[in-house]
A and B are shown apart, each in its own frame.
Chain A
Amino acid sequence: GESVGLHLPTLSVQEGDNSIINCAYSNSASDYFIWYKQESGKGPQFIIDIRSNMDKRQGQRVTVLLNKTVKHLSLQIAATQPGDSAVYFCAESPYLRGYNKLIFGAGTRLAVHP
């Protein structure tokens, strides 16, 4: 199988519980943030994004929270399901001369147990 995710921090949760995945970003100039989900052997899949003029954004079963004061981003997944098991990446984006640069974190593995 895909070896992406070896040696990553792991969050283990029970099916049905809520999950919170945290991310610290580095660039104060970043004004756009994205969460991606990557399953084994696949490319990253867009989950949700948030711009710096917002503190919170909700999607289907997911919520992203942004705390610009401490440069912290979190992804909350409600009623976690086995299909949510994957590696989750946050990405930050400073707007640079029209170029949509993304800076990725190292990722967190979410393991959902029945």
Chain B
Amino acid sequence: DGGITQSPKYLFRKEGQNVTLSCEQNLNHDAMYWYRQDPGQGLRLIYYSQIVNDFQKGDIAEGYSVSREKKESFPLTVTSAQKNPTAFYLCASSITAALAGNQPQHFGDGTRLSIL
């Protein structure tokens, strides 16, 4: 089945540690996104990438980094600079709007990150 796979489902971070969340898609989508979701809130955009080897900061990029070396993969690193990393992290992908106008984003099932 085509879809978006996020791993791990649960992740724990020690103080001062960087951790990397994996996101892989086999939908052949050019655009990929990372969101953060806190309890009782909607999704906030961290980073997005419209094409391989290019990515842009979203609304809350501080303390996070990404790479986009392959079309299928868009890993997110939560660095030690992110002082409040406990949240549910969601990865999404879509057809590029430049090709097809606005399109829905399709989501993975998330990674829950907690502080030890």
Contact residues of A with B, CB < 8 Å?
2-8, 31-32, 34, 36, 41-46, 49, 51, 89, 93, 95, 98-102, 104-107
Interface centre among B42, B101, B103, B108 (most CB of A within 10 A): B42
Known contacts A4-B88, A31-B102, A43-B108: A100-B40 contact under CB 8 Å: no
B43 x A95 contact (CB < 8 A) = no
B50 at the interface (CB under 8 A from A): yes
- Closest chain A CB from B88 CB (angstroms): 6
B108 touches A32 (CB 8 A): no
> How long is the Cα–Cα vector from A46 to B3 in the complex, in angstroms?
13
Most buried by B among A89, A100, A101: A100
Interface residues of B (CB under 8 A from A): 4, 6, 31, 37, 39-45, 48, 50, 56, 88, 90, 92, 94, 96-98, 101-110, 112
Given contacts A6-B39, A44-B43, 5 further A-B contacts (CB under 8 A): A42-B109, A46-B104, A93-B102, A100-B94, A100-B103
Find the B residue at minimum CB distance from A98: B98
- Once bound together, how far apart are the Cα atoms of A98 and B54, in whole Å? 14
Do A42 and B97 touch (CB < 8 A)? no
Interchain CB contact (< 8 A) of A51 among B31, B96, B102, B109: B102
Identify whether the interface residues of A are mostly helix, strand, loop, or mixed. Answer: loop
Across the interface, which residues of A come within 8 angstroms of B94, CB to CB? 100
Q: Which residue of B lies closest to A33 (CB)?
A: B102
B37 to chain A, nearest CB (A): 6
Task: From B56, B96, B104, B108, name the one whose CB has the most chain A CB atoms within 10 angstroms.
Answer: B104
A32 to B94, alpha carbons, bound, how many Å?
A: 14
Q: Out of A43, A49, A105, which one reaches B109, CB within 8 Å? A: A43
Instruction: Across the interface, name the chain A residue whose C-beta is closest to B41.
Output: A106
| 24 A-B residue pairings within 8 Å (CB atoms) | A2-B112, A5-B39, A5-B40, A8-B40, A32-B101, A41-B109, A42-B110, A43-B90, A44-B107, A45-B107, A51-B102, A89-B42, A95-B97, A95-B102, A98-B98, A99-B56, A100-B97, A100-B103, A101-B45, A102-B43, A102-B105, A104-B43, A106-B40, A107-B41
